[in-house]
Structure 1
C-alpha cells in the first residue's frame, strides 16, 4: 500500500460521512457514491493513458473504444486505488449498522 491508497481511503471516508449528513442518505448510499467516484476516476485515467499511448493529442478525438478503459490498463496500484476506499466505506457502513441495531461487531 502506498500513500495514494491512504489518501483515497481518507477522501472516500470524507465523502461518505459528508454525504451521510444529507437527509435520507444512508452510509451505504454515500459509501457507494464515494466508491463510484473513484472507479470512474480510474477508468478515465486508463482511457487517457491508452489514448496518449496511441498518439492522441489535445483537440483530437480520443482513439479509445467504448468501455476500453474498463477492461484495459488495470494493474495492482489502480485496483487498490478503488478497493481500499471500497473496503473502508463498507466497514464503516457495517459497523454503523451493527451499532444501530444494538449489536457489537464481531471481535477478531
Structure 2
C-alpha cells in the first residue's frame, strides 16, 4: 500500500460528503469511485499505446496491477463503509433495531 491509496480514499470521502445532500450517500460514493475507475482505465489505455491504438475495453482488462486495483478498491471500500454506518444506513438501522 502506498500514499496514493490513502489520497484517493480521502478525496473520495470528501466528495462523498459534499455530494451527499444532493444525491444521497450511495450515489455520491458511486460517482466518485466511477471517476477513479475511469482514471485508472484511461491510464491503462495510454500504457497500451493510446486510445486510438487499442480496442474499446482494453483499459478494463489489461495492465492491472495490485497498485492500480487498490487505487479503486480502497476508495470504494471506504465509501461503502461510510454509507453503511452513517445514520439511516443499513448497519445503523440494524443496531438500532437490536436495542
Same structural fold, with TM-score higher than 0.5 when normalized by the shorter chain: yes
**Equivalent of 2:57, from 63, 67, 76?**
67
* Aligned match of 2:84: 94
- Decide which structure has the larger Cα Rg and report it: 1
Mark the runs of 5 or more structure 2 residues left unpaired by the alignment.
none
* Structure richer in helix, relative to its length: 2
Taking structure 1 as the reference length, what is the TM-score of the superposition?
Answer: 0.80
How many residues are matched? 93
CA distance in 2, matches of 1:68, 1:82: 17
Matched, 1:80 2:80: no
Q: CA deviation at 1:103?
A: 2.5
Report Cα offsets for 1:29-50 as digits up to 9, x if no partner.
1011111111001000000111
**Equivalent of 1:41, from 32, 39, 42?**
39
Mark the runs of 5 or more structure 1 residues left unpaired by the alignment.
53-60
* Aligned match of 1:56: none
Taking structure 2 as the reference length, what is the TM-score of the superposition?
Answer: 0.86
SS at match of 1:91: helix
Q: CA deviation at 1:102?
A: 7.2
Q: Cα RMSD (Å) of the superposition?
A: 1.6
**Equivalent of 2:95, from 83, 86, 103?**
103
